[in-house]
Structure 1
């Protein structure tokens, strides 16, 4: 075999090995199930800063919290609580509130539910909660297991510290 033929054969073998490795990396069995879409593998969620301002009305309240995600993308699809027979998710854009079926939790990001922004709306309350009371919430997601939290009722004027 001549030197040129040997180099071509070695280069072809190297290319084949490289292509096989690249295809294996893109195949099923990776952290994201092979989809390659979320860029962060499985979602890894935690909840912080949750609170419920004491409602000024007997039948309606708003809820706020932050979902942190150190993994792949997910979506908050619903929230349940014994305090209300109905909890809806609301997205706010340009001071306009719209009920939505889910809220995105970006990969390696967070979903913030805050006054003046996206939030939970609780209706048909079983009772009007008092300041200091803790309310159980269960957060449901498209991919992740549900997360149960106890949410403190704060004064109506409460604003969390940044």
Structure 2
């Protein structure tokens, strides 16, 4: 009996399975790479100083990212007609369309720097209130945050934000 065709078939089958295994693992690697590129966002230290004016307020927080890069594109809340993103450099405030959330980094909104401007407030929040805010990102799902209203003079030390 000639076993050569049977052996050839077994070798071809084993080679085919090995190649299929290789292509599966390479697509698995691509999926793993894609997962590593996915942002992992967390918001902490959110606060709104009690506003002095009836029409405007500011907001601050830190977004920590343990994944790939993302971008904060807008913020919404039922308390204001509009919420705009601002940076402050050299004592000049400038409206921004978006803010980068760097891969494995932070986006910090703090007094004297990046901040939110709540414009045309529907009612003036008081110290002790909580304001519901939704952060919208380019890649990640929106994040809802309860922003506590603090004393007008409240100013936490950098990097000491409490988690929410």
TM range (shorter): 0.7 to 0.9
TM superposition score normalised by structure 1: 0.77
Distance 1:155 1:29 in 2: 47
RMSD: 1.9
From 59, 64, 70, give the equivalent of 2:66: 70
Question: Is 1:97 paired with 2:83?
Answer: no
Segments of structure 2 that go 5 or more residues without pairing to the other structure are 1-21
Aligned to 1:32: 34
- 1:32/1:72 contact within 8 Å kept: no
Aligned residue pairs: how many? 134
Give runs of aligned pairs for residues 1-162 of structure 1, distance below 5 A: 28-32=30-34, 40-161=36-157, 162=160
Segments of structure 1 that go 5 or more residues without pairing to the other structure are 1-19, 34-39
TM superposition score normalised by structure 2: 0.76
Q: Which runs of 4+ in 1 moved over 4 A?
A: none
Task: Identify, as 1 or 2, the structure richer in helix.
Answer: 2
